[in-house]
Structure 1
């Protein structure tokens, strides 16, 4: 498999093995063998094909449409495949398509797929957890490993918001995890 048409042609040339009558013809998948998937329905029905489409055609004119189609398909994938496929798709798109998608996000675009929403939420959670630790460290409060691990493991935005406020007034990092007060 290759995204380069010339390499596909070169790799698909028959190979004479030297055995009479036995010539090996390699099976090669090049960009011309991969459909350009820009339809959300097609992408949802065959998410692996839209990933291949992004890899084969993500540098071309259809890159943005392929990326949007993938976001629709990602909603039906388990978290592990969503993450892996999403990374492959995003890394395969040209810079212009990525810029366009970023502009859509900045303009208040509401993500339609669970894939995109989950990554936005994950980013917010990670940022708030880092903010809790940054406040404690800025106040020169030692943060024990168990507190650091608990903060970084939290997935509750409301809890992290409480901890940010609490980090500004406590004198010992262990107080952060106390259940009384806010």
Structure 2
């Protein structure tokens, strides 16, 4: 039978290895794009989309105007906006179509994925590589024993929380003041 402590140690070790190998400059470029955008849109599919929704919510708590592509109240994207695409392989059809459309409207596109040589690189102004196992395994990726591509999705979520913490520090935000942005119809 599997041991809980052993399993959590494996997961946290994989996360540490992956997060430690993300390029600082790429993250700082993404943060600059977020800061200068009027609106930040997010697109992905499956569990990646769930991680992106969490990032959108967290950035909204920091006062960033965030939208998930397809949500009922999604406004038009413009040349003053940023689309953040989450796709490990960078080959997922729906995000590729949306990135192409965003570029047609002059928006900036950021890709967070595992494959820097993907089709998404044609549209991305900024890329952040998460070196976790993806559909296209390469030797420099952190290989995971977890099912499917859990490591990518987990790292994506933690990357979003890292961006939020960087923004809090950069803006010198009082944590208690963030409650004004938290949902209050609960």
Q: After TM superposition, is the score higher than 0.5?
A: no
TM bucket by the smaller chain?
under 0.3
More helix by share: 1
More strand by share: 2
Greater radius of gyration (CA): 1
More relative contact order in 1 or in 2 (CA 8 Å, sep 6+)? 2
- TM-score norm. by structure 2 comes to 0.22
- TM-score norm. by structure 1 comes to 0.22
